[in-house]
């Protein structure tokens, strides 16, 4: 690997425990206001990033900012200069199935909530990586700089089956992990024109947005998330990130607030703790694994702020790469 490291992005989806439980068909109970994802997971991740000296963006669900304690945390992050992004207002899985007016309402509601705590969001990620042309149109209508919803993998059907196994039920309306066709999307930042993946883009149109695709592992193209990385030791992590870095592509590592939450007791799936995804892992163990994931990612990549990268890309009017990238 050359001395010059490729660009890396570190981002966190701050899905409250109520939203995680809803994803798996569980009632939120009292997890909206008493939320370990905000009270425990978020501070643990923030401390891990600060220890490694890397910037990270946190994508906030607008509804969470109805809670005064969560608003206080978010405002404190803004005052420290942390980038906050838009993760919809209610974290509804299957956003692309909704009428355009509802899609825009989801984005606008979260945007207004974020601005009420002083944030100036320029990035969006759809819940469940569920993005289509109409979702991108809404992102553009808010004049955001980038979207980070595309998961470029052919494994989306298998990922949905794994999710159904965790949920102990199949929900056809629960559209997530993108579409098989998105496996052909570029694995580096690109400008979709006009709201589709194209082989080339000769110019940028006014109001375009930059797509920052979620990173995937070599060969298998699993999402570059804690669920995929928690089982790996330090040497395997170092090898994996070096393989990605040698390709020279800007790469996005995506974590979730629950990745920092102690799951030694069943808090997502009532009465059971499936080993998949860290749902049976103690907080101390998670903290150690998160630290080595972040440290090895920072060793291989030059981690930068996504909002600044997107602004620079717009100023340079960068053309989209070929699909084979």
> For 256-313, how does the pLDDT look when each residue is reduced to its tens digit (9 = 90+)?
999 999 999 999 988 888 888 899 999 999 999 999 999 999 999 999 999 999 999 9
At what angle are helices 234-246 and 283-300 packed, to 10 degrees?
30
Average pLDDT estimate for 219-239: 95
CA-nearest of 246, 289, 276, 290 to 56 is: 290
- pLDDT surpasses 60 at 196: no
* Geometric angle at alpha carbon 87, from 83 and 93, rounded to 5°: 160
Residue 94 sits at φ, ψ, to 5 deg, of: 95, 35
What's the pLDDT score for residue 317? 58
Average pLDDT estimate for 182-206: 62
From residue 266, alpha-carbon distances to 28, 30, 38 in Å are: 14, 15, 17
Average pLDDT estimate for 6-19: 97
Going by pLDDT thresholds of 50, 70 and 90, the confidence category of residue 54 is very high
CA 170 to chain centre: 23
- pLDDT surpasses 70 at 318: no
Question: What is the pTM assigned to this prediction?
Answer: 0.91
What's the pLDDT score for residue 148? 97
CA-CA distance, 63 to 67, in Å (whole number)?
8
Per-residue pLDDT of 98-151, as tens digits, reads 999 999 999 999 999 999 999 999 999 999 999 999 999 999 999 999 999 999
Q: What percent of the chain has pLDDT over 70?
A: 91
What would the CATH number be for the domain defined by 7-316?
A: 3.20.20.370
């Amino acid at each position: 690997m050359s001395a010059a490291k490729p660009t890396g992005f570190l981002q966190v989806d701050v899905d409250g425990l109520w939203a995680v439980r809803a994803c798996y068909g569980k009632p939120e109970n009292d997890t909206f206001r008493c939320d370990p994802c905000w009270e425990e997971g978020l501070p643990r991740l923030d401390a891990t990033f600060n220890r490694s000296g890397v910037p990270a963006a946190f994508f906030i669900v607008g509804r969470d900012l109805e809670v005064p304690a969560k608003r206080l945390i978010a405002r404190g992050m803004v005052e420290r200069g942390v980038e906050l992004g838009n993760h919809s207002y209610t974290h509804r899985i299957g956003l692309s199935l909704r009428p355009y007016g509802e899609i825009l309402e989801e984005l606008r509601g979260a945007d207004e909530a974020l601005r009420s705590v002083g944030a100036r969001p320029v990035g969006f990620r759809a819940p469940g990586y569920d993005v289509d042309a109409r979702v991108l149109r809404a992102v553009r209508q808010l004049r955001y700089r980038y979207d980070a919803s595309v998961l470029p993998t052919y494994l989306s059907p298998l990922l949905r089956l794994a999710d159904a196994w965790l949920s102990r039920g199949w929900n056809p309306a629960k559209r997530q992990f993108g579409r098989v066709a998105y496996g052909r999307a570029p694995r580096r930042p690109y400008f979709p024109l006009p709201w589709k993946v194209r082989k080339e883009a000769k110019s940028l149109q006014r109001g375009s947005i930059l797509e920052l695709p979620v990173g995937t592992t070599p060969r298998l193209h699993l999402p570059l998330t804690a669920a995929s990385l928690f089982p790996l030791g330090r040497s395997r992590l170092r090898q994996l990130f070096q393989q990605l870095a040698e390709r020279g592509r800007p790469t996005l590592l995506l974590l979730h607030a629950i990745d920092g939450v102690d799951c030694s007791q069943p808090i997502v799936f009532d009465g059971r703790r499936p080993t998949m995804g860290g749902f049976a892992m103690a907080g101390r163990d998670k903290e150690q694994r998160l630290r080595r994931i972040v440290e090895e990612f920072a060793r291989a990549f030059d981690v930068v702020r996504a909002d600044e990268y997107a602004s620079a890309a717009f100023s340079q009017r960068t053309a989209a790469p070929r699909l084979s990238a």
